[in-house]
Amino acid sequence: MNIRTVSTQPFSDQKPGTSGLRKSVPDFQKPHYLENFIQSIFDTQESLEGQTLVVGGDGRYYNRQAIQIILKMAAANGVGQVLVGCGGILSTPAASCIIRKNNALGGIILSASHNPGGPNGDFGVKFNTSNGGPAPEKVTEAIYERTKVIDAYKILEAADINLESPGSFKLGSMAVEVMDSVVPYRSLMESLFDFDQIRQMLTSGNFKMCMDSLHAVTGPYAKAIFEKRLGAPEGTVQNGEPLEDFGGGHPDPNLVYAHDLVEVLFGKNAPDFGAASDGDGDRNMILGRNFFVTPSDSIAVLTANAHLVPGYKNGLAGVARSMPTSQAVDRVAAKLGIDCYETPTGWKFFGNLLDAGKATLCGEESFGTGSNHIREKDGLWAVLFWLNILAVRGESVEDIVKEHWKTYGQNYYSRHDYEEVETDPANKLMEGLRSGLGSMKGKKFGRYEVEYADDFSYTDPIDNSVAKNQGVRIGFTDGSRIVFRLSGTGTKGATLRVYLESYESDASKHGLDPQDALGDLISIADEIAQIKAITGRQEPTVIT
């Protein structure tokens, strides 16, 4: 066994963001760049000897080459066994499932989630810990500190492993198991949902669904579950072949980037139900016939109907949402008499709540929902949850949501994204907002009066860790909110996200176009933050 120790120098830009390290493919292809970050992960673990590691990715460009490098480095660093997805394919939810099922040390997931792929697209590396969830900040900080001083990495000289079909291999003294990652994930889904009832609905001839995998990782999982196991007709899963460039598309399941699915669900002879997932399979978009379900409404509806689903029929310990997510689920939690936790953006903040049994369902407005079955958000899980509810209730998606509004009121909600804003103007905008917080209370903007203004800070109720500067919140006396934050998931410039929310209890005023219902708040947001003046942008890149 020939292990090489390769001299290297630190890179100054390897600080992980919200979900790992994301850069362009050319950045990761720089000599030693990927290796430095992987070695830094290994160097910050207490022990690798004999441990099991899970490795795989969303199939984007450079996925296969990176896996071969990681396998050889794992062998050189004393890892006992690596479980790797067949073809290098491994959805983020499936990775969490496999880490937990095999008591693994953790997993290295290669994905830039919903970011574009291809030779000039984006690539990412995320480390998940033994609970199956994204590494907490104390771990990612340790990795980052190591990247700043690293001077060498270890790698085994060996031929590449055949990843094309399941099999067992050896790399030096390390075992490599190439596995069909669909099987354990499907088994987990079968333990949570009534597959027989869903199958009956899908094969009745009275219900039609469409699943768009956007040429990303969920294709093989969706085909195996919806078409083969649940009996949906062949072709139900569209764009189901993972491609290195996602077919030239943007694997982000929203109304803009999943426009083909939107056209189908809002067209003639539309199916009853539509869904899409993202690059690595952890996000979801839910549509009914001529009806879009906001992610904030989705987690609220799932919470209100969880008792209809086998895996959650005994009740929920609590729910959690990210701070920018609408307060719709808060109203359901209050009626159920359970706690609702408000956390910063980033699924890692839900991990402690889930591990401590404080929360069962979690949701983010960025099209992410999940539960305590794993420690990641889970796109196909959310689709199955909706299908289970539809099968039990026998109503349309639109009817279920509108009935929900009648009971709880409607939280009008929208997110405006300004993508690839120049970094300096973006920072100037946020600094201006923060500097004005102290004098904001009591100010009036038309019929809206500011009740509070702050920069959201979170103290974890389990380990008392504190996360500061998580987004500027401006709350009004009628319960409306505007939130401003810079996203940590882009690789070019900065993405400014503006979140707008107002509550309407009057059923006669439900179902309006959110952009109309929120029109005054949209104008106020620009007035307060001076978005157009500072960024030069006249309108958002994406509105959801």
State both tokens at 46: 């207490």
CA 280 – CA 298 distance, rounded (Å)? 20
Q: How do residues 210-262 score in pLDDT, each as one tens digit?
A: 999 999 999 999 999 999 999 999 999 999 999 999 999 999 998 889 999 99
pLDDT digit string, tens, across residues 126-153: 999 999 999 988 999 999 999 999 999 9
Catalytically active residues, by annotation: 113
> Where do we find the tokens 């340790």?
142
Joined together, the tokens standing for residue 418 give 């300004």
What mean pLDDT is reported for the chain? 96
Q: With bands split at pLDDT 50, 70 and 90, how would you rate the model's confidence at 397?
A: very high
| C-alpha atoms less than 13 angstroms from C-alpha of 80 in its C-beta half-sphere | 11
Q: Which long-range contacts (CB under 8 A, 24 or more apart) does 332-335 make?
A: 332/300, 332/303, 332/304, 332/408, 333/303, 335/408
pTM for the model stands at 0.94
DSSP-derived letter for residue 244 is T
The one-letter amino acid at 509:
K
* Burial class for 317, CB neighbours closer than 10 Å (0-12, 13-18, 19+): middle
- Model pLDDT for residues 20-58, shown as the tens digit of each residue: 999 999 999 999 999 999 999 999 999 999 999 999 999
Assess contact for 49 and 77: CB atoms under 8 A.
no
Where do the domains of the chain lie, and which CATH numbers do they carry?
3-179 (3.40.120.10), 184-408 (3.40.120.10), 410-543 (3.30.310.50)
pLDDT in tens, 417-463: 999 999 999 999 999 999 999 999 999 999 999 999 999 999 999 99
List the end-to-end C-alpha distance of the chain, in Å, as a whole number: 53
Structure tokens at 25: 């493919």
* Alpha-carbon span 470 to 113, nearest angstrom: 21
> Tell me, what's the pLDDT at 346?
86
Which two tokens mark 9?
A: 């120098």
pLDDT of 5 > 60? The answer is yes
- Torsion sign across C-alpha atoms 262, 266, 269, 274: positive
Three-class DSSP labels, 280-319: CCCCEEEEECCEEECHHHHHHHHHHHHHHCHHHCCCCCEE
Distance CA 387, CA 273 (A): 8
Query: Which residue is associated with the tokens 């006669």?
Result: 508
Residues across the chain: 544
Residue 8: pLDDT above 90?
Answer: yes
In this structure, what are the phi and psi dihedrals at residue 442, rounded to the nearest 5 degrees? 90, -15
Pair 483, 472: CB distance under 8 Å: yes
Q: Are 170 and 143 a contacting pair, CB within 8 Å?
A: no
